[in-house]
Amino acid sequence: MARHVARPDPRAHWILLLLGLFGLLGALSFHGLATNVGGGSGPSGAAAAPAPRQVSAGGPVLRLDGPTPVARQLPPRIVALTFDDGPDPRWTPQILDVLRRYHAHATFFVVGARVNEHPELVRRILAEGHEIGSHTFTHADLGSVPAWRAAAELSWTRNAIAGVTGREVTLLRLPFSSVTSSLTEPQYQALRAAAGSGHVGVLADRDAKDWERPGVPAIVRAATPQGGAGAVVLMHDGGGDRSETVAALEQLLPRLSRAGYRFTTVSEGIGAPASMLAAGGGTRLSGTALRWAQTGASWLSSAMNLLLGVALVLGVARLVVQVCCAQLHVRRVRRPPRGRPEVTAPVSVIVPAYNEAANIAATVRSLVASAYPTLEVIVVDDGSSDGTADIVERMGLRGVRVIRQANAGKPAALNTGIRAARAGLLVLVDGDTVFQPDTVHRLVQSFADPTVGAISGNTKVANRRGLLGRWQHLEYVIGFNLDRRMYDVLECMPTIPGAIGAFRREVLLAVGGVPADTLAEDTDLTMKVLRAGWRVVYEEGAIAWTEAPSSLRQLWRQRYRWCYGTMQAMWKHRHALGEPGAGGKLGRRGLPYLAVFQIVLPLAAPAVDIFALYGLLFLPWSSLVLAWAGLLLLQGFTAAYALRLDRERYGPLWTLPFQQLVYRQVMYLVVVQSVVTALIGNRLRWQRMARTGEAAALVGGPVAR
C-alpha cells in the first residue's frame, strides 16, 4: 500500500500576499503622485527668505553649475513665450495652432506625468519647431520637498521626455516660480542642486498671471514688454481653464509683431546652443518603462475603482434582498398556513460528543427539560478522553442513552446515532449547545408540511461578554440569520448549522446519512437534502445557545475549517447548477451567492483595504470620512434591524466600527488561507475548539446581552 506523504502547510502565500499588497500600494501611490498635479505659479507655502540679490536682480536664465551664478537676459525686442503645466489635450493644441498661425516659436515647460499621458502632444511641440523644458514630474515645489524627491522629480521628467522624443532636456522651470525678483532662497538652492545634473534654470521677466484668469486685457498687458526690452514671458497651457490665454495670444502676437518683436525659444533668444540633446539608449528605455508603469498604474486604479463600485453595488443589492426577504419571512411566521396541524410525533435528539466535559451536562439537561411530549436523547461519545460519557451516565436522566464508540469523527458519531434512533424525526445537536424549553417544539412544527425535509434553527452566541464575543454575536444575527431568512424565502438554504437542525429520518437514510468527505458536513448534508428534492426551511423561534471561540486563534481555526469545508461542499455539489427543482434552486441561487459573498468579495477585500489606504494618502479626508461614515451608518441600520428581528438588545452596536478594523480582516484572511489550501491540494484536518463551559451557564440563568 502506498504511503501518503502530507504536503507542508502553505506559508509562502502570505509572503506573496504581502508583496502583492505592497506592490499594489506602490502602484496606486505612483498613480496618485502622477495624477495629483496642480498648476499655476502662485505661492506654494509660507513666505521664505529671498534669493541672493545677484540672482534675483539679474536675467531670467540662470546657470548655476559654477562657483559664480551666471544670469542671461534676452536682447531687445526678442520675446520668448513660455508655457507651463502642459501638455493639456484641450489647450495645448489650441495654443500650438495660434503660434503656427503667426509663425511664432515658444518654449514649453512640461510636467513629466502629463508627458506620459499625452506623448503625441510632446512630439507635435517638437515637430513644429518649439523647445521643451522640464517642469518636474508632478508639479512639485522643489524648494520644500526632500532632496531625494527633488532628484526623482527631475530624473523622471528627463526620462519621460527622452522616452517620448529620444532627447534629453536641460532647461528647468521650478513650479510656483515666477519673475526673478520673487525667487526665494529655497528655490535658489533647488536650482543649484538641479544644476548638478545639468539643468539650466529659467524664470521670467513678465508673468502674465493667466492662471488667475484676470481677463484677456489684463493678460495682454502683463505679458507686453515695456520700452522695447526683450523678455521671457510666463504663461500656461495646462493646469486649468486656459481659454483666456488662447484669446490673449490672438491679440498679443499680432500686436507685438507690428511693434517689431520677434518670438523665439529661450535658447535661441540668448544665443545658446540647442538645449535638447540626444538621449542615450538607457535613458530612452527608462522613459519607456516609466510610461508603461504610469499607464499600468492608471489601469490598476481604474480597475480598483470598478472593483470598489461593483462591491458596493453588490453589497447594497444584497442588503435590499435580505431586508425584503426578511419581511416576507416575518409575514410567513406571523401568518402560518391555516389548518396546519401541530406536530407531536416522537423526536430523537442526537448529540455527538468528543471531549465535551465542559458543556455536556448542561446540553443534556436542557434537552431533557424540553416541553415536548415524546423525546429521547442519544449521546454518542466519539472516543472522548475527558470522561464525557461518564458524566452523562452519572446524571441518570430518564430517556437519555449513551453510546460509546472509538474515535471516528463527528459524521460517524452522527450516523451511529441515526441508526440507533427510534423516532421518525431527528434533531442533531452539538455537544456545546443549550436548548430553551420550547426549542424542540418550535423546531419541528414545519414538518407539518410534507415537502419539508429539514429545518434549521436559530443559533445564538452564548459567550458574548468580551469584544470578540460581541463581534461573533453580531455576525450570527446580521450575517447568518438574515441570510437564513433570505435562503428560506428563495428556497435555497445551503447550511443547517450543526448546533441545531431537524431532519426526517427517511430523508437522512435516503441521502446516505451524514457525509464524511468534507469538513463542513452540515453544509454538505443540507445540499444533499435539497438535491434530493426536499425543502429546507428556517425556524427563527427555535433558539439554541452555543459557545463561540473565545480567542482569535480558536476563531481562526474554526472559520478556516468552515470556509474550507464550504468550498469543498460547493465543488462537490456544483452539478446542481443544471438540475431542476430544489437542487436547481440551490445551484442557481445558493451556490452563486456563496461564491460571490463568501469567496470572491472576501478575496478582493485586502485590495480594497489597500485602496482605502491609498485614499487616505491622496484623496480628501473629508470625502473618505463621509463615505466611511455613510457605509457604517448603513451597516448600523442593518444591524439594528437584524437585532430587532431576533429580539436582541441594541447594546453591541457600539462595537461595529471596531469590527470593521479587526474582525473583518481576520475573516477575509481566513478565506485567503482556505483558497490557497484548496488550490495547492492540501487536506485540512478537523480542528476541534477548546471549550470553556460558558454555554453551561445558560442553564442557570439568562445570557449576558
Kindly tell me if the per-residue pLDDT of 704 is higher than 50. Answer: no
Residue 699, φ and ψ in degrees, nearest 5: -65, -30
Kindly tell me if the per-residue pLDDT of 98 is higher than 90. Answer: yes
Average pLDDT in the chain:
91
Kindly tell me if the per-residue pLDDT of 671 is higher than 60. Answer: yes
Could you tell me whether strands 106-110 and 131-134 are parallel, antiparallel, or unpaired per DSSP bridges? parallel
C-alpha angle 362/363/365, rounded to 5°? 65
Residue 576, φ and ψ in degrees, nearest 5: -65, -20
Catalytically active residues are 84, 236
What pLDDT, in 10s, does the model give residues 374-394? 999 999 999 999 999 999 999
pLDDT band at 5 (very low <50, low <70, confident <90, very high): very low
Kindly tell me if the per-residue pLDDT of 6 is higher than 50. Answer: no
Using alpha carbons, list the distances in angstroms from residue 304 to 307, 309, 515.
Answer: 5, 8, 40
C-alpha angle 483/537/559, rounded to 5°? 45
* The two domains 66-279 and 309-699 share their CATH topology (first three levels equal): no
* Helix (H) and strand (E) counts in the chain: 26, 20
What pLDDT, in 10s, does the model give residues 142-167? 999 999 999 999 999 999 999 999 99
Kindly tell me if the per-residue pLDDT of 403 is higher than 90. Answer: yes
CA pair distance 429, 349, nearest whole angstrom: 7
- Average pLDDT, integer, range 324-340: 82
Q: Is the pTM of this model over 0.95?
A: no
- Average pLDDT, integer, range 561-577: 95
Q: Which fold has domain 66-279?
A: TIM Barrel (3.20.20)
Answer whether 190's CB lies under 8 Å from 151's CB. no
Kindly tell me if the per-residue pLDDT of 41 is higher than 70. Answer: no
Using alpha carbons, list the distances in angstroms from residue 41 to 45, 74, 208, 228.
Answer: 12, 21, 10, 25
- Average pLDDT, integer, range 526-535: 97
Q: Where are the domains of the chain?
A: 66-279, 309-699
Kindly tell me if the per-residue pLDDT of 4 is higher than 60. Answer: no
pLDDT for the residue 542: 96
Share above pLDDT 90 across residues of the chain, in percent, rounded to a whole number? 80
pLDDT for the residue 57: 85
pLDDT for the residue 705: 37
SS (H, E, C) 442-509: HHHHHHHCCCEEEEEEEEEECCCCCHHHHHHHHHHHHHHHHHHHHHHHHCCCCCCCCCCEEEEHHHHH
Look at 35 and 11; give whichever has higher pLDDT: 35
pLDDT for the residue 629: 87
Given CATH 3.90.550.10, say whether it is the number of domain 309-699: yes
DSSP 84-153: EEE--TTHHHHHHHHHHHTT--EEEEE-HHHHHH-HHHHHHHHHTT-EEEE--SS---TTTS-HHHHHHH
Angle between helices 119-127 and 91-101 in degrees, nearest 10: 10
Among candidate residues 283, 268, 129, the one with its CA nearest the CA of residue 198 = 283
> b/e map of 595-611 (b: 16 or more CB within 10 Å)?
eeebbbbbebbbbbebb
- Residue 338 burial by CB count (10 A; 0-12/13-18/19+): exposed, middle or buried? exposed
CA pair distance 493, 529, nearest whole angstrom: 10
Kindly tell me if the per-residue pLDDT of 406 is higher than 70. Answer: yes
Query: Among 116-125, 174-183, 324-333, which stretch is predicted with the lowest mean pLDDT?
Result: 324-333
What residues are paired with 202 via a beta bridge? 61
pLDDT for the residue 195: 96
- 68 membership: H or E segment, kind and range: none
What pLDDT, in 10s, does the model give residues 582-603? 999 999 999 999 999 999 999 9
pLDDT for the residue 349: 98
- Average pLDDT, integer, range 40-51: 66
CA pair distance 151, 146, nearest whole angstrom: 9
Q: Residue 329 is placed in which grid cell?
A: 419571512
